[in-house]
Amino acid sequence: MHLIPCPWCGPREESEFACGGEGHIMRPADPEARSDAEWADYLYMRANPKGWHRERWLHRYGCRRWFNLIRDTVSHEIKAVYRMDEPAPKLEP
């Protein structure tokens, strides 16, 4: 299984975590001003890339904190870990 590098606890087995899917999804500040299509995009539409994926993970059976990962969805390599309030590191092309 993956060894997930929790920023606080260090590398732990994947079974201690829950994957929260795509990261950096911002809730619109003005929901009432959004069209149904824009609201559906926020709620449901996702990039789901084959390659580097910016995700958020929860250390559910550990420190119970959320953090971000950049992980490859083909090789499962983890390239970066950063906190929820940090911006995503740049990805080389």
Partner 1 sequence: MAVVGGEPRCKNAPASSRGAESRGARVQRYSIFSLARNALNDHADWERAWRSPDPKPSYAVVIVGAGGHGLATAYYLAKEHGIRDVAVLEKGWLGGGNTGRNTTVVRSNYLNDDSAALYEKSLQLFEGLSRELNFNVMLSQRGLMMLAHSPHELRAHQRLVSAMRLNGIEGEMLSVEQVKALCPILNCSPRSRYPVFGASFQRRGGTARHDALAWGYARAADARGVDIIQNCEVTGLRLEAGRIRGLETTRGYIEAAKVGVVVAGHASVLAAMAGLRLPIQSHPLQALVTEPIKPVLHRVVMSGAVHVYVSQSDRGELVLGAGIDGYNSYAQRGSFHVIEAQLAALKELFPIVSRLRMMRQWGGIVDICPDASPIIGKTPVEGLYFNCGWGTGGFKSTPGSGFVFAHTIAADEPHPLAAPFALKRFETGRLLDEHGSAGVAH
Q: Is 73 in the site for partner 1 (CB under 8 A)?
A: yes
Burial of 57-85, coded b for 16+ CB within 10 Å and e otherwise, reads bbbeebeeeebbbbbeeeeeebebbbeee
Q: Is 87 in the site for partner 1 (CB under 8 A)?
A: no
Amino acid in the structure at residue 28:
P
Asked whether the beta carbons of 5 and 68 are under 8 A apart, the reply is no
Site string for partner 1, 21-40 (x = CB under 8 A): x--------------xx-xx
Site residues for partner 1, 5-24, by CB under 8 A, read 13-15, 18-19, 21
Q: Which residues bind partner 1 (CB under 8 A)?
A: 1-2, 13-15, 18-19, 21, 36-37, 39-41, 43-50, 53, 55, 71, 73-76
